[in-house]
């Protein structure tokens, strides 16, 4: 059965926005070793896949967060997706820098801040949730009411689920690691032993060595 999550994962695999390589793992900025690498920026270069992802994103925003007054993108990878969704839904758009600018106005939030208004954050992917929730705090400190977050891909770490629950923030993802692994098995991109290795990584990614 083709669910929306499976179709999104399949498209990401087709254009190699997601790479699976447990033999030669990737290194994240945090220093973690990972058997997969997700680069949703690649989708922007493929018009049909980009249009599909944009439509799925707008569907989730419209059906699950219809009370939103504005869309906020996370710099840098969430900016394009957030802007496209805001344009489609005819909502105001703003984006959040990792830290305030060191020149000019010193803004961390770019665009118009609407205190008291409801905003949904758009991310490209969610791992531990730490950086995503830092963005939420920036918006909340500016007086905005963050009602949720939507990402293209989520790793499904328990730490992220716990962090979002404790922060009282609902998050949704167009697809996730579990769906990806099932699809990779079905397409024989990985065998049974590799599947177990991939599942072990998600259980303890900080200590996984490949």
Task: Report pLDDT digits (tens) over 42-74.
Answer: 999 999 999 999 999 999 999 999 999 999 999
Task: Report pLDDT digits (tens) over 168-188.
Answer: 999 999 999 999 999 988 988
Residue 1: the pLDDT is 43
Residue 203: pLDDT band (50, 70, 90) is confident
CB-side neighbour CA atoms (13 Å) of 34:
18
94, with CB counted inside 10 A (0-12, 13-18, 19+), is buried
| For residues 134-148, average pLDDT | 97
**Tokens 């489609």 found at:** 88
pTM above 0.85, yes or no: yes
């Amino acid at each position: 059965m083709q669910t929306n999550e499976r179709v999104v994962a399949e498209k990401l695999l087709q254009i190699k926005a997601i790479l699976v390589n447990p033999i030669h793992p990737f290194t994240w900025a945090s220093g973690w070793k990972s058997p997969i690498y997700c680069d949703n920026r690649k989708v922007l270069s493929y018009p049909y896949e980009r249009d599909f992802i944009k439509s799925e994103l707008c569907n989730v925003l419209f059906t699950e967060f219809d009370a939103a007054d504005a869309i906020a993108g996370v710099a840098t990878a969430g900016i394009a997706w957030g802007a496209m969704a805001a344009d489609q839904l005819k909502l105001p758009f703003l984006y959040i820098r990792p830290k305030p600018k060191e020149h000019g106005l010193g803004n961390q939030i770019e665009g118009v801040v609407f205190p008291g208004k409801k905003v949904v954050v758009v991310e490209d992917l969610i791992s531990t949730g730490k950086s995503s929730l830092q963005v939420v705090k920036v918006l909340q400190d500016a007086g905005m009411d963050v009602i949720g977050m939507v990402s293209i891909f989520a790793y499904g770490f328990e730490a992220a689920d716990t962090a979002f629950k404790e922060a009282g923030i609902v998050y949704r993802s167009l697809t996730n690691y579990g769906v990806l692994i099932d699809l990779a098995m079905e397409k024989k991109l990985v065998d049974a032993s590799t599947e177990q290795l991939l599942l072990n990584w998600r259980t303890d990614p900080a200590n996984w060595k490949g």
